Amino acid sequence: MTRPSLDDFHAIVPAGGSGTRLWPLSRQSRPKFLLDLLGGGRTLLQQTWDRLEPLVGPDRVHVVTGISHTGGVREQLPDLTHLVVEPSPRDSMPAIALAAAIIAEREPEAIVGSFAADHVVEDEIVFAAAVAEAVAAARTGLLVTIGITPASPSTAFGYIEGGDVLGLAGAPTAHAVRRFVEKPDLATAQEYVASGDFSWNAGMFVVRASVLLDHLARLQPTLHDGVREIAASWHTPGRDEVLARIWPSLTKIAIDHAIAEPVSLEGGMAVVPGTFGWDDIGDFAALADVGATSTDGTIFVDADGLVISADGTTVAVVGLKDVVVAHTADAVLVTTREHSQRVKEVSVALQELGRADLR
């Protein structure tokens, strides 16, 4: 893979979220991104590294994660140079903004792109081409998102409505963004997909670091000032003190709400279509859809579905269709594909039962 046009590009990987709908495989202490959910030998975080590192090199991948996961991240990514450790979770905007501000300290004109640590991409070549277009579009000063061409009228994702083709150099497929919309109902999702104008919001944002920070200065000025102050101290002995002092005061907000939605309404956003096959594996139904298969030795008698036995215990299912069983050494989930989204409610029940240790 050549990368002549990406020399100023840095990848930011927010590695957060525990994935409560994939419990008990995922836990607060063992979040989704640290798991090899597809059984291919690489965790979701490692797969994210595997598709970004060839584009930017190991020195321009920046992982942002919580303090309790730094050990897991370092272990899984031995070649990682830049690890930003959040003292506490403040959602995606502070995480991405701090990484961008740290990069901008040394390379003010750098382009940054954010890519979640726990998503799945099928075709890395097509992914790389979309990133290259997004970087080209971002060089014009736009906030660029890679919007996933919908594979179905999913109600699990937010959507991005595209407008006219922008005709940008190096980004022939980039369209203007009309608006972001929240997760729709099924009828609305069907309209969106039928229109051909909508893509899924996968949280992939590509933008010049200085542009991102300028937007932030306008829209979330205290958050901007906070991350700038932390970034200024980043390569000094005062880093820990400044981080500990300022981080807890940063506004807890997602990048979509803080920047993407308002900037899209101002006409400052572009969307590059992503046709590389993508999923955020939000639940067990999605995990089955991206090709996860039942553990060897699972017994189905007049039954089918997805049985993952992470600890190798033999599971037999009799007479249930579309079952989902996730087995670990200390906890077991039994549900069906249809109820996959409700698995997050187990976390609440565990709390009520005084078994927060299993969350």
Applying CB under 8 A, the residues found at the interface with a second copy are 23-24, 297, 299, 301-302, 313-320, 323, 325, 327, 329-336, 338-339, 342-343, 345-346, 349-350, 353, 355, 358
Q: Name which of 114 and 309 has its Cβ closer to a second copy.
A: 309
Per the DSSP assignment, residues forming a β-bridge with 65 are: 15, 85
Q: Name which of 23 and 200 has its Cβ closer to a second copy.
A: 23
Phi then psi for residue 303, to 5 deg, are: -155, 160
CB 274 within 8 A of CB 118: no
Q: How far is the CB of 152 from a second copy (least distance, A)?
A: 21
CB 347 within 8 A of CB 357: no
CB 296 within 8 A of CB 280: no
Q: How far is the CB of 28 from a second copy (least distance, A)?
A: 15
Taking residue 155's Cβ as centre, other Cβ atoms within 10 Å add up to 14
Q: Name which of 203 and 282 has its Cβ closer to a second copy.
A: 282
- By CB atoms closer than 10 A (0-12, 13-18, 19+), residue 57 is middle
Q: Name which of 28 and 46 has its Cβ closer to a second copy.
A: 28
The four Cα atoms 97, 102, 107, 109 give a dihedral, to 10 degrees, of 10
Q: How far is the CB of 283 from a second copy (least distance, A)?
A: 11
User: Which token pair is 341?
Assistant: 């989204």
Which residues, including other chains, have CB under 8 Å from residue 2's CB and lie 6 or more apart?
A: none
Q: How far is the CB of 154 from a second copy (least distance, A)?
A: 20
Q: Name which of 238 and 297 has its Cβ closer to a second copy.
A: 297
CB 64 within 8 A of CB 92: no
User: Which token pair is 312?
Assistant: 């190798």
Q: How far is the CB of 194 from a second copy (least distance, A)?
A: 30
Q: How far is the CB of 282 from a second copy (least distance, A)?
A: 15
Q: Name which of 254 and 358 has its Cβ closer to a second copy.
A: 358
